[in-house]
Amino acid sequence: MALGAVASMVSCSKNKLPVPLEFDLQAKVKINYASAYAGNPSVMMKVNGETVITGIKYAYPFPGGGLNTQGGSQPDYLNMATGNTTLSLSVPNVGKSTDSIQLYSGSVTLPGAGYYTIHVADTMANTQMLVLEENTATPDSGFSRYRFVNLIPNLPGLDLYFNNVKVADNIPYMNASASFDIAFPTASSWAIRPAGAAPGSTALATYANTSPNQRVFTVFARGYNGSTDANRKPNVSLYYVR
């Protein structure tokens, strides 16, 4: 998969663990591309009319990647100007940087300097964006910090379980839970269920990993309830906030 270079107006920032004092007036932005198209096309992403990446595929917290996602495993961000920001997604003409099929274009506001994620979910005319400010504060030693975001459009709410314990309750589509800490090292089994479903009922999706020490993650549910194909079935994924 060929990935285009980051444009001059949007540079990439490595989010390293030590963050002393910051005077940067730009926003640090991750774009969580979670639009589950059946054909999973290679997509070109533009910010304010300038291409930031070509060849991106579902599901990709860009830049950086995550767990059970496309990309790597780094808490990276784009440096972007604050204020009104237009995000455009298209299928490009083969071998060119011009649009062939426009999938979506919409605007959000980046209110100021800080760390943000723009979540993108659903497809075509139903595409929506959600901007969330990230809490990059390091948790105490012996813990990692998590937050849950529901990006499954056709369910009114989701419950998130960690090792059979409910950690997020009835989170609506395009909404996020409060943060919660999990002890390190803990082998984990994440599960999502429709809001109110019995704890022992069949999960919509599960994902297993081991909680590390002093990291910050977002857990997100993606796909569509009832779908069974690889590109659209429900999934649980994580990306690195810090």
pLDDT per residue as tens digits for the range 180-233: 999 988 788 999 999 999 999 999 999 999 889 999 999 999 999 999 999 999
Place of tokens 């099929």: 101
Q: What b-and-e string marks burial along 92-108, b requiring 16 or more CB atoms within 10 Å of the CB? A: beeeeeebeeebbeeee
Phi, psi of 64 (to 5 degrees): 115, -50
Q: What is the pLDDT of residue 13?
A: 57
For range 135-153, the mean pLDDT? 96
C-alpha dihedral, 31 to 32 to 37 to 43, nearest 10°: 30
Q: What is the pLDDT of residue 18?
A: 46
Q: What is the pLDDT of residue 123?
A: 98
Structural domains counted in the chain: 1
224 inside domain: yes
Place of tokens 């943000």: 116
- Domain region containing 69: 11-15+22-240
For range 131-142, the mean pLDDT? 95
| CA nearest neighbour of 236 among 180, 158, 181, 165 | 158
pLDDT tens, residue by residue, 64-103: 999 999 999 899 999 999 999 999 999 988 766 666 899 9
Whole-number Cα distances in Å, 239 to 68, 83, 236:
9, 25, 11
- E-strand ranges in 151-234 read 158-162, 165-171, 175-176, 180-183, 186-194, 205-211, 216-222
169 inside domain: yes
Please list the residues that pair with 215 across neighbouring strands: none
DSSP 70: S
The region of weakest confidence among 118-122, 124-128, 182-186, 214-218 is 182-186
161 inside domain: yes
- CA gap 174, 190 in Å, rounded: 19
5 inside domain: no
Give CA 183 to chain center in angstroms: 23
Cβ atoms of 210 and 162 within 8 Å: the answer is no
- CA gap 231, 98 in Å, rounded: 25
Q: What is the pLDDT of residue 187?
A: 81
2 inside domain: no
34 inside domain: yes
63 inside domain: yes
231 inside domain: yes
- Token pair listed for 74: 């780094």
Q: Supply the mean pLDDT for the chain.
A: 90
